[in-house]
Every structure is written in C-alpha cells, then in structure tokens.
Amino acid sequence: MTRSRLVLCLLVLGGLLVVAGQLLRFSGPRRAEAYFNRGAALERAKKYAEACEQYAKAVELNPRHAAAYWGWAGSLTELGRYAEASEKCARYVALDPHNARVYCIWGSALGSLRKWPEACEEHAKAVEIEPRLAEAWQGWAAALAELGRYAEAFEKYAKAVEINPRYERAYFNWSILLGKLDRQAEECEKLARVVEINPRSVEAYYHWSVSLGQLGRYAESCEKAERATALNPRLAEAHMSWGLSLGDLGKRQEADEKLNKAVELKPDLKPVVDGVRMGWEEKK
C-alpha cells in the first residue's frame, strides 16, 4: 500500500470513528425519548403496568429524563404502588425542583402510605410553587384532617373549591370530615353541592341519607337513599339507611323490606339490623 493510500485509509477510518461516536452519543437520548413517548401513550390509555415498563427503559437509557420519572410516578400511583411512586417523585425533584404537580403526586402517594406530616410538606411545596393548584390544596386538607388539624383542613378545602368551584372530590371529602365532627347540617350542604356537580354520585346520596337521618329529617333521608339505590341497587348500606328512616317514620313493614334487602346483599350487617329491630320492639 502506497503512503498516500494509507493516509487516505486513515482519514476515512478517523471519519467513521467520529460518526460512530456521534451515533453512540445521541442514540441513547433519542431511544429514551421514544420509550418515554410510548409510556405516555400507554398511560393515557390507562395501561399503567405497560407504561411503567416503558418509563423504566427511558430512564435506563437517560437517567436524567425527568419527565419519565414524573409519568412513572403517576402510573405507579394508579397501580397503588405508592412507595415506588414516592421514590420516583424524589428522583424527579432531584432533577427539577420546580414542578408543583410532581409535589402534589408525591403528597398523595405519601398520604396513601399514611405518612401524613410528610404529605402535608409536599402539598405545601406544591401550592408555594403553584398557588392555584386545587388538587394540592385538597390533598393538603385531607392530610391535615387525618392529623386532627380540622380548622386548617377546612381552610384548605375552602381554598380548593374557591379555585375550582366544581371540584367534586374536595366537596365530598369536606363533607365526610364535617360528618365525622357531627356537623350534619353543614355536611348536607356540601353533599348537595356534590350531587349538583355529579348527579350520579352514589356515595354522596348515601351519605346524605345517613346525615339527614341523624338530623331527624327522615322523609328526606328516604328520598336520598332511594336515589342511591336507584343508581346502585347493590349498595347494602343505602338500603339499610332507607330502612332505618322508614322505621323512624313508623313504616315498619316497608322498613323491614329494606333491612332484609341490606342483609341479603351484605350478611355482615345482620347483627346491626337485629339490634335495630330489638330496639324497635322495646319501644312498643
């Protein structure tokens, strides 16, 4: 081989090595982005387990792909894998500490793990970054309620529905807390708002029936229980609430029918129903 030919070969080889280096440099991030996009599509299709697999491949190729950690955390949350979701949120925040929605997901995951103080911290960070993120206010309120900090919880729920007046979950959770504190009149107000937003909320009609019964508004309680059972005929507790209110109205035959239906659907209710009937007999 002549000297000039050898030089030419070396130049060509050097060029190929440069190209190969560039391909190696950029193939990882590009492939990571492809896996991320597949994960996002699967997540939108509610195929959360498959989405997690794609997100895992994305961060394996590009450990600094923050959005993949975000999507991965969301999918893990949907699968009920809260500890793993929390870990992915931490990985995201290490790369980008300014995304309020990731803190909100993190707070919700921690709440599901019953780590209430930590959940409060993450939701507080979320609203500090994005003050009009209603989901973070709602999550913060729920965590505060679990800690027994009720006044603060009410304040956060109020903020959530101020931002989003049609925030069904916030109104419902607020109502449950009010009922827990024996503030049934206020509970009914919040439940009325829930069914205004979502007329097919079975749980709202059921809880409304119970609360009205506790207030002695038995006819209205029956009406709400009837709505609940129309939406879900297999909700034993709604049949029971209906039966209790019918009994308090002196309609024993109708009450027995509803109570029998409750026990048929959920045999565990039989001791409670037997106790109710015994109480009625003692009042005769």
Q: Sort 228 into a burial class: Cβ within 10 Å, 0-12 / 13-18 / 19+.
A: buried
Quick one: CA dihedral 229, 230, 233, 235, positive or negative?
Answer: negative
Each residue's pLDDT expressed in tens, for the chain with a length of 284 residues: 565 554 444 444 454 444 444 433 445 678 889 999 999 999 999 999 999 999 999 999 999 999 999 999 999 999 999 999 999 999 999 999 999 999 999 999 999 999 999 999 999 999 999 999 999 999 999 999 999 999 999 999 999 999 999 999 999 999 999 999 999 999 999 999 999 999 999 999 999 999 999 999 999 999 999 999 999 999 999 999 999 999 999 999 999 999 999 999 999 999 999 999 998 888 77
Burial class (CB in 10 A: 0-12, 13-18, 19+), 33: middle
Strands (E) in 130-218, as ranges, are none
CA 214/CA 102 separation, integer angstroms: 40
Say how far apart CA 137 and CA 253 lie, in whole Å. Answer: 47
CATH number of 200-284: 1.25.40.10
pTM attached to this predicted model: 0.85
